[in-house]
Structure 1
Amino acid sequence: MHIVLFTHPDFLGSQSMPRYASMLLKGMQERGHEVVVWTPKARFYKLPLMKSLKKWLGYIDQYFVFPIEVKLKLRNCSNGTLFVFVDQALGPWVPLVKNRNHIVHCHDFLALKSALGTIPENPTSFTGRQYQNYIRNGFSIGKCFISISKKTQQDLHELHLGKIVSSVVCYNGLNRPFHSLSSVASRDLLEAKLNIVLSSGYIMHIGGNQYYKNRIGVIEIYDTWRSNYNGKIPLVLIGEKPSDELITFSQKSLFKEDIHFITDLSDDYINSAYSGANCLLFPSLDEGFGWPIIEAMASGCPVITTNKAPMNEVGGMAAYYIDKKPTNTAHWQQWKEDGANMLEKVLSLNTFQRNEVIERSLNQSQKFTTEYSLNAIEAMYKEIKLIV
């Protein structure tokens, strides 16, 4: 099978999508398929102009120059070529191959739902709404789709403006290896790397500053737990540099000396970070899939997350759940109390109970291996027929 993989340009600075694209590229090549990558090059984007213009110059590269290149390349592609879009956000390019074999991978529709006003926590600007509408009109030309969760598939069917011919769910597979490592050795390694006392353990969160990651909510639960119980282990938040809002909020905490933001931690340390943690506290408001849930489980780390799809799809019977943080501020205190109570429950597990949780977690993680995911995706690729 000859596959053309449409991917996000490198100059956007994304991390998760390049990893996913790399998984597809290597996975399909290992299965004997011929795969080439088509992606916009930084032409206008690299011009030495003001940073405020970079986004717009990038749009020229993506939506004016690149489509011309694609039309020229299509002349040399056989009718049997399969065109794969690694993300529905690449929707504006889908019409270029609407009459050829194609399939669109869907991850999450949070940006589009925000633009449509259905996510009050994340209001969208006028230009942002127009951009998301542009993407939606594009992927709605598509006929065949793979979603990473049932929740994403449900959103796809609600938001697609045309006719869907084929739609399946292929859960993500871990795109790098994670193992259950020694908690003591992992903590020692992190201590030496970060110069933080972690020998008694720590509560971990990993993620960016996106609204739905709910990093402030993580600190709220931690503060409430520290106030209500006698535990004193630190909170370690791994991810991008905290926003000004997050820094200001954390500085108001009575326990600010034990709240640590860790940025630029290489992938080599992430497995150890999970294995050394007492638990992963991951109360996201929403997700497309929820990578940290399954990464933590594969690393032997108990998980507390939100009882909402797709988080509970991924966590299954192995995770501990709390409600989504309510939008009504009058209910926030009860949410924090409930989160703190659940945190204390997990942190108070005896050795036997914790080992049981870890065993369930490891078993759950086996449902999301790279091999399993790629086999399901390949099977779907082979079923695509020419749609005119």
Structure 2
Amino acid sequence: MRIIFFNHPTFLGSQSMPRFAHMLTEGMRARGHEVESWLPTPGLFRLPAPQGLKKWLGYVDQFVLFPNEVRRRLKSCPPDTLFVFTDNAQGPWVPLVTDRPHVVHCHDFLAQQSALGKISERKTSWSGRQYQEFIHRGYSKGKNFISVSQKTREDLHKQLSSVPARSEVVYNGLNQSFTLLDAIQSKTALGQKLELDLTAGYLLHVGGNQWYKNRRGVIQIYDAWRGLSDQKLPLLMIGIPPGQSVKDRREASPYTSDIHFLTGLDNEAVRLAYAGASVFVFPSLAEGFGWPIAEAMASGCPVVTTDAAPMTEVAGEAGFLIPRQPADQSEHESWAKAAARVVDRVVRLRGAEREKAVQAGLENAKRFDANQALDQIEAIYYSLLQTEKKHEHTSDYR
């Protein structure tokens, strides 16, 4: 196959989407396919300008200059080329190739739902609503979609006015090597790296500052757990530097000295963190998939996560579930206490009970094998091209 992947520009600073796109491009290239990546270059974005203006200059690069470049390149593309959009947020580019074989990979529609006022925890500005509608108009022109979870597929269909020609689900494959490591050795090695005493264990969270990651909720659960437990394990929160509201929540904690924000860790340190943790706490309000759940389980770490899709899809029968944090802040304290009791139960697992939880997670994580995911995606790509050829053949005899 000849495949052209549309990728986000590097100047956006995203991490998860480039990793996913890299998995696709390198995976298909390794399978012998002819692969190209098309993405906007930072033309106007490079100009010296205030940060607010640079965002708009970046939009010109992405949605004015880049589409013109795509139209020029399309003239030399063979008709059997498959065009792949690695993220549904690339919607504005979809109409450029709707008359050619194409497919859109869908990760989540949280920004779209927020713009429609469907998420009480998140309000979208007027300009944000216009931008999301711009994206929506674009991907709505698509005919073929691959979603990372059943929840994302359901959300996609709610966004479309009609059922698409093709709509499949392929769970994400882990794009790093997360494996079972010795927990004691992992705690020791990580403690040496961080200059912290982690020998007794620790609670772990991995995630960014997006509202749905609920980092404040993690700290609320930790505070509640420390209040009911006789153990004094620290909380490690791995991700980008926290926003001000998360910093404020930490400062308000009576256990602030035991809450550690860890940024800039290399992949080895993250793997050690998963492998040595007493429990992984992931109370997300929403997700498209929920990578860290699978990463933690593949590393032998029990997971406490939200009792809502797609977290339940990823955790399967191996997760320890808590309710979604209520939107009403007056209910947060009781929610945190209930979640803390679940966390405490997992922290106290010993011997055969903990081994059973670990093995259940390891078995569940096998569903998220990168090669298996790529095989499924490759089969869909082939099928789309074959379907397109049949349509062309039928048209020839009309």
Task: State the secondary structure of the residue aligned to 2:223.
Answer: helix
Match of residue 48 from structure 1: 48
Higher mean displacement: 310-319 or 47-56: 47-56
Q: Is the 8 A contact 1:140 1:162 kept in 2?
A: no
SS at match of 1:35: strand
Counterpart secondary structure, 2:261: strand
The alignment yields a C-alpha RMSD, in angstroms, of 1.0
Deviation string 1:85-115 (CA, Å, 9 cap, x unpaired) is 0000000000000100000000000011001
TM-fit CA distance, 1:130 = 0.3
Taking the aligned partners of 1:105 and 1:357, their CA distance within structure 2 comes to 33
- Contact 1:5 1:38 survives alignment (8 Å): yes
TM score, norm. by length of structure 2: 0.96
Match of 2:395 in 1: none
For residues 163 and 309 of structure 2, the distance between their equivalents in structure 1, rounded to whole angstroms, comes to 25
Give the whole-Å Cα distance in 1 for the aligned partners of 2:303 and 2:68. 47
Mapped to 1, the partners of 2:276 and 2:319 lie a distance apart of: 17
What is the match of residue 186 of structure 1?
A: 186
* 1:22-41 matches, cutoff 5 A: 22-41=22-41
Contact 2:157–2:163, Cα closer than 8 Å, also in 1:
no
Runs of 4+ in 1 over 3 A off after TM superposition: none
- What is aligned with 2:75? 75
1:84 aligns with 2:122: no
Once the two structures are TM-superposed, the CA of residue 275 in structure 1 deviates from its matched residue by: 0.2
Report the count of equivalent residues. 388
- Give me the whole-angstrom Cα distance separating, in 2, the residues matched to 1:3 and 1:242: 38
Counterparts of 2:255 and 2:112, CA distance in 1: 37
Judging changes above 3 Å, is the alpha-carbon distance between structure 1 residues 63 and 162 closer, same or farther for their aligned structure 2 residues?
farther
5+ residue gaps, structure 1:
none
For residues 284 and 88 of structure 2, the distance between their equivalents in structure 1, rounded to whole angstroms, comes to: 22
Q: Quick one: distance in 2 between partners of 1:127 and 1:266?
A: 36
Q: Is the 8 A contact 2:278 2:301 kept in 1?
A: yes
Task: Give the whole-Å Cα distance in 1 for the aligned partners of 2:210 and 2:100.
Answer: 36
CA contact (8 A) 2:284 2:306 kept: yes
Q: Deviations over 1:256-286 (max 9, x none)?
A: 1101000111122111110010010000000
Per the TM alignment, residue 329 of structure 1 is displaced from its structure 2 partner at its CA by 2.6
Partner amino acid for 1:45? F
Residues 189-208 of structure 1 show CA distances to partners (whole Å, capped at 9, x for unaligned) of: 21121111111110000101
Cα distance in 2, alignment partners of residues 132 and 224 from structure 1: 38
Deviations 1:332-383 (A, max 9, x none): 2221111010011001111111111111110000011001100110111011
Structure 2 match to 1:312: 312
Distance 1:261 1:233, change over 3 A: same
1:186 is displaced (CA, Å) by 1.1
Aligned residue number for residue 133 of structure 2:
133
**Equivalences for 1:347-386 in 2 at 5 Å?**
347-384=347-384, 385-386=387-388
Match of 1:98 in 2: 98
Identity, % of aligned pairs?
48
Of 348-357 and 154-163, deviating more is 154-163
In the alignment, is residue 219 of structure 1 matched against residue 219 of structure 2?
yes
Q: Work out whether 1:170 is the aligned partner of 2:170.
A: yes
Q: Which residue of 2 aligns with 1:238?
A: 238
d(CA) in 2 for partners of 1:269, 1:81: 41
Alpha-carbon shift at residue 162 of structure 1 (Å): 4.8
SS in 2 for 1:316: helix
